[in-house]
Amino acid sequence: MRCIVTAGPTYEPIDEVRRLTNHSTGRLGTGLAKRLANEGHEVILLRGTLAIHTEQPEGVAIETFTTTDDLAGKLERLAKRQPEVGAVFHAAAVSDFAAGAVLQKNDDGELTPLRQGKVSTREGSLLLELRPTQKIISHLRAWFSDAQLVGWKYEVDGDRASALGQAQRQLTDNATDVCVINGPAYGEGFGLLKKAGEAAEHWANGEALFDALARLAKRD
């Protein structure tokens, strides 16, 4: 099967020097790509340029991405160039926000945008406008209409029940097939929730998760 895996963080520039990003190493997605290649699948790994896990698995074609829009563009182009993609594993940590205007507040409370290639610290306290980025996962079904689509939910607040609720919402809202759940709200290990409404599976570690996802890739 031809598979695409996304891994690592996107980033969004604040100015020509600074940027917003996520705490993502790219290790999990790279490990999954390696496992799929070892199973005999044709694998394309899209990995963020800021990922600190830089292993080059044998048999895996690697392309890099920068911003959320850059990753979205690469996925859309792959959908056109690689029409027989059987599975997409979207594990990348996509920035929820892009930086908008950097604003300075004067004594009267008036906000003035700063237009500088590098915002100076001499300006004192500043306000940064955050704008939502596009939700890449919401486009995957249109781009890869016949593929198995696997998304991720990393939840910090709440408990395991609320994390599973967010995973179910991701499946419903984006017409994906499977959602992997992890993070402090879920607790140790990984959950795996399928579109069919089955009870969530639990896997203790990354290797067990890879086993489960590799089985998904074997489905016709």
The CATH number for 34's domain is: 3.40.50.10300
The answer on 81 and 29 residing in a single domain is yes
Residue 92: φ, ψ to 5°: -60, 145
Q: How many CB atoms lie within 10 A of CB 75?
A: 23
Tokens of residue 199, six digits: 């009870």
Would you state the pLDDT for residue 110?
Answer: 80
> Between β-strands 11-13 and 19-21, what pairing exists: parallel, antiparallel or unpaired?
antiparallel
Confidence (pLDDT) at 219: 58
pLDDT of 196: 63
DSSP state of 199: P
pLDDT at 123: 67
Task: Tell me, yes or no, whether 126 and 67 share the same domain.
Answer: no
> Is residue 45 classed as helix, strand or coil in its secondary structure?
strand
Q: Would you call 50 helix, strand, or coil by DSSP?
A: coil
- Same domain for 109 and 32, yes or no, is no
Tokens 């996304």, residue? 6
- Give yes or no: residues 8 and 58 share one domain: yes
Q: Give the integer Cα–Cα distance in Å for 217 and 1.
A: 7
Strands (E), 54-172: 60-65, 85-90, 97-105, 111-114, 127-132, 148-154
Residues 15 and 69 in one domain: yes
> pTM of this prediction?
0.92
Which H/E stretch holds residue 172? helix 160-174
Q: How many domains does the chain have?
A: 2
pLDDT < 70 stretches in the chain: 116, 123, 196-197, 219-220
State the residue range of the domain holding 54: 2-95+135-217
Counting Cβ atoms within 10 Å, is residue 139 exposed (0-12), middle (13-18) or buried (19+)?
Answer: middle
| pLDDT tens digits for range 113-163 | 877 677 777 767 788 899 999 999 999 999 999 999 999 999 999 999 999
Amino acid at 56: Q
Same-domain pairing of 20 and 118: no
pLDDT at res. 33: 97
Collapsing DSSP states into helix, strand and coil, what is residue 78?
A: helix
Tell which of 80, 106, 130 closes a domain.
Answer: 130
